[in-house]
């Protein structure tokens, strides 16, 4: 999702709450965003 905002030059912090929720729901439908295991906080060893 971060890459999307960088490419489109949108600022997530400036979106109203309802638009943030809508965008997250749309992104969850993408096969590119889906991951079988969460990647947050993982680092290579």
**pLDDT surpasses 60 at 2:** yes
All structural domains of the chain with their residue ranges: 1-28
Residue 18: what pLDDT? 92
| C-alpha distance from residue 36 to each of 24, 31, 33, 39, 40 (Å) | 17, 11, 10, 9, 12
Q: What pLDDT, in 10s, does the model give residues 3-30?
A: 878 888 888 889 899 998 898 888 888 7
pTM for the whole structure: 0.50
Residue 16: what pLDDT? 92
């Amino acid at each position: 999702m971060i890459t999307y905002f960088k490419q489109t030059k949108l600022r997530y912090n400036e979106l109203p709450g309802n638009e943030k929720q809508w965008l997250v729901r749309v992104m969850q439908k993408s096969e590119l965003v889906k991951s079988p295991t969460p990647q947050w906080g993982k680092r290579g060893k």
